[in-house]
Structure 1
Amino acid sequence: MTWEILNIIGTLAFAVSGALIAIEEDYDILGVFVLGYTTAFGGGLIRNLLIGIPIVNIWQQDLLFAVAFVIIIMVFIIPTKWMKRWQRWVVFFDAIGLGAFAIQGARYAVSIDTPLIAVIIAATITGAGGGMLRDVFAGRKPMIFHSDIYALWAALGGLSIGLGLIRNPFSTYLLLAFIVLFRMLSVYYKWNLPRKINGDRLGEG
């Protein structure tokens, strides 16, 4: 049951995130659907390619495709005056999708007995891959490479699952809350990983 709930939470959150950004970029309804579906399912697609899960599994999620369709339609028909308020929530929905899919990807990798590093990679790619494809399709610099700490929270979630620290539904949802909370805190306080500045020194944040 935890697996299905995480799947639905991640799909809803990322479909909303993709649709909102498509509308912000003035895409037509086809573009909104493409970006919404890409964000919702792109991370899982990349994960399957990397750790050898059959790609066909992605297309057998009839319920999730229907859920994404409904939520994208709802976002598209929201009045413009409401949309301006919703756009402030893009980061929040993205954080929920990041956490839910990171946990799901890590659990999937653990279920097929992959090594710890593969669990961490699966968590990071599943959590951040959809958003990365969304940003590329929207002509933006991918959040995973420059934004206030982003993929690190997914990787830490994967590490905790790979080490066997998350063993029951309660701890799973606690981890989800942790990832969402710290992603939002990193945006609010502008936490950043070290980066090169002027080509000769490291920035701190």
Structure 2
Amino acid sequence: MELFDLFSIIGTIAFAVSGALVAMEEEYDVLGVVVLGLATAFGGGIIRNILIGVPVTTIWTQGPLMLIACISIAAAFLVPVSWIRHWKKGEAWFDAIGLGAFAIQGALYAVKMNHPASAVAVAALLTGVGGGIIRDLLAGRKPLVLQDEIYAVWALIAGLAIAFGWSQTTTEMIILFLLVVVSRMLSVHYRWRLPRRSLKNKPFAR
């Protein structure tokens, strides 16, 4: 199995479960759970493909990944509620794993197509966070990537590491993946945030 395929599988499982859990939190029916799980697992890849020139229809050639996603969603839907409540404590882990795996997968995809470093970084960013944005929008939530702890930055860093050749071997890729996951979890634990400016309750000067 190629490293690209491994990260595709890891990301698909993590984000499919993440989407399914959010759907159940919002009390969606079984169809909603499936739709949200699939949108989270494949949404980032679709957005990436549009921007780097890959036909969107290639999504239909990913039958094995679709099957893996559906099995993951079914498992999340069928397990006892007590298990889900326990897993919810680790929801950020699913997000972090999906972020790291898909960021690297997206960057490798762009490298295979001989795109420049800027495109590789964007492919990593969009693949890593695109599914989560679609998930949050479909669930009626503010996208996590745009308003909470540092999130997208880790995907961008992973993309740049691959684009500039800092991470090339299998061992280096695995280390990069672990660094993204750990960095994401540290940002959750310590609530690291990017600078922000709020205009709420602050009247404009005239």
Interval of TM-score (by shorter of Structure 1 and Structure 2): over 0.9
C-alpha separation in 2, matches of 1:110 and 1:2: 13
Cα deviation 1:9-64 (Å, max 9, x = unaligned): 00000001000110111111000000000000000000000010111211101111
153-162 or 106-115, larger mean C-alpha shift: 106-115
C-alpha separation in 2, matches of 1:67 and 1:103: 19
| Aligned twin of 1:195 | 196
Runs of 4+ in 1 over 3 A off after TM superposition: none
| Aligned twin of 2:203 | none
C-alpha separation in 1, matches of 2:134 and 2:91: 16
- Specify the code of the residue in structure 1 equivalent to 2:173: T
Whether 1:162 and 2:163 are equivalent positions in the alignment is yes
C-alpha separation in 2, matches of 1:147 and 1:102: 19
Task: Report 1:7-156 matches (<5 A).
Answer: 7-156=8-157
CA shift at 1:198, angstroms? 4.2
CA shift at 1:185, angstroms? 0.2
- Specify the code of the residue in structure 1 equivalent to 2:99: L
**How many residue pairs are counted as aligned between the two chains?**
201
110-119 or 22-31, larger mean C-alpha shift: 110-119
Percent identity of the aligned residues? 51
111-120 or 5-14, larger mean C-alpha shift: 111-120
| Aligned twin of 1:2 | 3
Cα deviation 1:52-109 (Å, max 9, x = unaligned): 0111211101111111111111110111122111112211101100010000111111
Cα deviation 1:152-182 (Å, max 9, x = unaligned): 0000000010001111111001100000000
C-alpha separation in 2, matches of 1:168 and 1:157: 14
- Specify the code of the residue in structure 2 equivalent to 1:99: G
C-alpha separation in 1, matches of 2:167 and 2:65: 25
C-alpha separation in 1, matches of 2:158 and 2:96: 13
C-alpha separation in 2, matches of 1:108 and 1:93: 22
